[in-house]
A and B are shown apart, each in its own frame.
Chain A
Amino acid sequence: MRIAELQWEVERGGKPGGTTLAMTFRIPQSAIRILVALWRLNVAEELQYRANFVASLLGTTFWIGTALLTLAVFFRHTTRLGDWDYWEVVVLLGVFNTLTGVIEAVLRPGIGRLAGEVKSGGLDLVLAKPVDAQGFVSFRRLDVWRLTDVVLGLTLAGYALHRLGRVPSVVQLAAFGLALAAAVVVVYALWVALMSLAFWFVSVENLSVLFDAVYEGARYPVSAYPGALRFVFVYLIPIAWTTTIPASALTGRLEPGFALVAAAVAGVAFALTRLLWRTALKRYSGASG
């Protein structure tokens, strides 16, 4: 029995009068209800382990400290990195940390577990549910304490902006908001694309390591890298859009209108990974007994 097909049947039947196109991004109201229910459960669970909050806070502070010291070492020997000065790179670091928060709170505990489930056949249980499998796999968990990274990251970006002596206009802030939202979508698309490989390479349980390897490049502005690598980071593995673009929008390095380009890139990335996910899922035939 092709479980992937079964899942689509269930979904089609579940929507009264729904004309299901091959690519619908419509979010039914029930999906939001399910999401809220799942996350409320997660939060209630996490609230029992408040020590984790302190551990998470200490971990993030330590990480930000390490990253700032790293920059200090580089800037002992230069005044600009890829034509960015110190505090501009710190703004970027703040964006990086904000996205890290989203990754650690939602993506790693959710879609990050996909490879293991494809191997063990645990995905059967997901596909048997009358919900969108990609959505469920991606957003089923919320490790709420890791959202401290988002708060600390935005604070850091704000402080660096203050040190730069720049007060962003409303338009710039809006552009930053849009670019940051686009960055979240691009990060999500990268996770889906990399984790979908699990359907081809079933035995690789640590696939999420591949994301960490790629994302390591996003710690610095892409202009700091040699030309060929820069091309890769903008067009092929689009990590330039995760940190460099939102940080540029905030510091006024880019025209606010460029945020629309970022949004378009995010849209394309999302559509492509949605397509990839469907293709990948067709390869799945279940493994559990």
Chain B
Amino acid sequence: MTRTVDWLRRYGALLRAAWLQDLQYRASIVLWLLWGVTEPAVALGIWWAIAADGPVQGYARADFARYFFALMLVNQLTIAWDSWYLDSWIREGELNFRLARPIHPAHEAVAENLAYKARTAGMILVVWLIVAAAWPAVRLPFGAGRWALTAAAVLLAAALRFFISFATGLLAFWTTRATAIMELHAGISLFLSGRLAPLALLPPAVARVAGFLWFPYMLAFPVDLLTGAVHGAALLQGFVGQVVWLAVWVGAYRLAWTRGLRRYGAVGG
């Protein structure tokens, strides 16, 4: 019991610090947000043009609008910049004082993610509501059960992307190109996680490959859940996939952390 209270207190302090730090950089955060939504906005513009003559494999213009609005929101809720932080922590020696603290550095990263996402996703949600008031195409049907399931899937996706980003960032213990690897991952995920198009519109072979990897569970699955495109068996399969890949990446993170720390020769003071 006291342990729980202790952890709540710790997280309270970490969250407060992260929130205040973000407050200081709120204009920069708005720019990152803007940058984050241009890619789906441009993709929507192109699909909008393509769907002018009628639905594309069942996706009409309004479906694309809903898909990419949901993508903007889910992407913002699940995005993880931790690779870049870890890379600089390790290379610049900023990891040292974090290791000296009586709390694992990952908790600071989790708190930062929570504060950042609450702020930015909140902004997207407000914009979405305003747009939806004028543009019926992006309205989502209300369904408490579906929204609860979506919330669970978004949480799992956020955890998955956090551990992918954290584990990849830890590669900075061995190489100076950890962030380049993360960018490679981002390039692949453009297709396989559904950032460019709903997976159903990719070549079937590519979509099948994606199904064997973790990419669809980062974004496409929670997005489809939110727009109402997933039903029945696919729903269960989606959650199973998320949990399995989360376990794999947690394993990868633990391996990289223990092995990496052993060979870490601290830099800087």
A interface list, Cβ under 8 A from B: 55, 59, 62-63, 66, 69-70, 73-74, 76-78, 81-82, 201, 203-207, 209-210, 212-214, 216-217, 219-220, 224-226, 229
Decide if A81 touches B49 in the complex (CB within 8 Å).
yes
Q: Mark B26-67, 1 if CB is under 8 A from A, else 0.
A: 011001101100110010011111100000110000000000
Q: How long is the Cα–Cα vector from A288 to B206 in the complex, in angstroms? A: 54
B45 to chain A, nearest CB (A): 5
In the complex, B156 has a CB within 8 A of chain A? no
A55 to chain B, nearest CB (A): 7
Give chain B interface residues in 173-210, CB to chain A under 8 Å. 177, 180, 184, 187, 190-191, 196-197, 201-203
Q: How long is the Cα–Cα vector from A207 to B27 in the complex, in angstroms? A: 9
B interface list, Cβ under 8 A from A: 24-25, 27-28, 31-32, 34-35, 38-39, 42, 45-50, 56-57, 177, 180, 184, 187, 190-191, 196-197, 201-203
Decide if B31 touches A73 in the complex (CB within 8 Å).
no
For the complex with contacts A69-B191, A224-B46, 7 further pairs of A-B residues with Cβ separation under 8 Å are A55-B177, A66-B187, A77-B57, A82-B49, A203-B28, A210-B35, A214-B38
Residues of B within 8 A of A73 (CB): 191, 196-197, 201-203
B156 to chain A, nearest CB (A): 27
Decide if A220 touches B190 in the complex (CB within 8 Å).
no
Decide if B50 touches A78 in the complex (CB within 8 Å).
yes
Residues of B within 8 A of A76 (CB): 201, 203
Q: How long is the Cα–Cα vector from A61 to B49 in the complex, in angstroms? A: 28
Which of A55, A81, A226 touches B50 (beta carbons < 8 Å)?
A81
Residues of A within 8 A of B49 (CB): 81-82, 224-226
User: Can you name 20 A-B pairs with beta carbons within 8 Å?
Assistant: A55-B177, A59-B180, A62-B187, A73-B197, A74-B47, A76-B201, A82-B49, A203-B24, A203-B25, A203-B27, A204-B27, A206-B28, A207-B31, A213-B38, A217-B38, A217-B42, A224-B46, A225-B45, A226-B45, A226-B49
Q: How long is the Cα–Cα vector from A74 to B197 in the complex, in angstroms? A: 9
Residues of B within 8 A of A70 (CB): 190-191, 196
- Nearest residue in B to A204 (C-beta to C-beta)? B27
Q: How long is the Cα–Cα vector from A51 to B84 in the complex, in angstroms? A: 21
Residues of B within 8 A of A210 (CB): 31, 34-35
Decide if B184 touches A62 in the complex (CB within 8 Å).
yes
Which of B34, B35, B42, B197 touches A219 (beta carbons < 8 Å)?
B42
Decide if A77 touches B56 in the complex (CB within 8 Å).
yes
B123 to chain A, nearest CB (A): 15
Q: How long is the Cα–Cα vector from A201 to B201 in the complex, in angstroms? A: 42
Q: Name, among A206, A214, A219, the residue most crowded by chain B CB atoms within 10 Å (CB to CB).
A: A206
Residues of B within 8 A of A217 (CB): 38, 42
Residues of A within 8 A of B180 (CB): 55, 59
B199 to chain A, nearest CB (A): 11
- Nearest residue in B to A115 (C-beta to C-beta)? B28
A122 to chain B, nearest CB (A): 18
A31 to chain B, nearest CB (A): 32
Decide if A213 touches B34 in the complex (CB within 8 Å).
yes
Q: How long is the Cα–Cα vector from A210 to B202 in the complex, in angstroms? A: 30
Which of B31, B187, B190 touches A209 (beta carbons < 8 Å)?
B31
Which of B31, B32, B39, B203 touches A216 (beta carbons < 8 Å)?
B39
A282 to chain B, nearest CB (A): 22
Residues of A within 8 A of B38 (CB): 212-214, 216-217
Q: How long is the Cα–Cα vector from A251 to B221 in the complex, in angstroms? A: 41
Q: How long is the Cα–Cα vector from A41 to B15 in the complex, in angstroms? A: 46
Q: How long is the Cα–Cα vector from A224 to B51 in the complex, in angstroms? A: 11
Residues of B within 8 A of A63 (CB): 187
Which of B27, B35, B57, B202 touches A201 (beta carbons < 8 Å)?
B27
Q: How long is the Cα–Cα vector from A216 to B177 in the complex, in angstroms? A: 25
B69 to chain A, nearest CB (A): 16
Decide if A209 touches B34 in the complex (CB within 8 Å).
yes
Decide if B46 touches A206 in the complex (CB within 8 Å).
no
Residues of A within 8 A of B196 (CB): 70, 73
Q: How long is the Cα–Cα vector from A203 to B35 in the complex, in angstroms? A: 18
9 closest cross-chain pairs (CB), A and B? A213-B38, A78-B50, A216-B38, A204-B27, A209-B35, A213-B35, A77-B56, A209-B31, A224-B49
Residues of B within 8 A of A201 (CB): 27
Q: Name, among B28, B34, B48, the residue most crowded by chain A CB atoms within 10 Å (CB to CB).
A: B28
Q: How long is the Cα–Cα vector from A203 to B30 in the complex, in angstroms? A: 12
Decide if A226 touches B31 in the complex (CB within 8 Å).
no
Q: How long is the Cα–Cα vector from A217 to B42 in the complex, in angstroms? A: 6
Residues of A within 8 A of B184 (CB): 62
Assess A220 versus B32: contact at CB under 8 Å? Given A62-B184, A76-B203, A203-B25: no
B21 to chain A, nearest CB (A): 13
Residues of A within 8 A of B25 (CB): 203
- Nearest residue in A to B49 (C-beta to C-beta)? A224
Residues of B within 8 A of A214 (CB): 38
Residues of B within 8 A of A213 (CB): 31, 34-35, 38
Q: How long is the Cα–Cα vector from A229 to B46 in the complex, in angstroms? A: 12
Q: How long is the Cα–Cα vector from A210 to B48 in the complex, in angstroms? A: 24
Q: How long is the Cα–Cα vector from A111 to B47 in the complex, in angstroms? A: 34
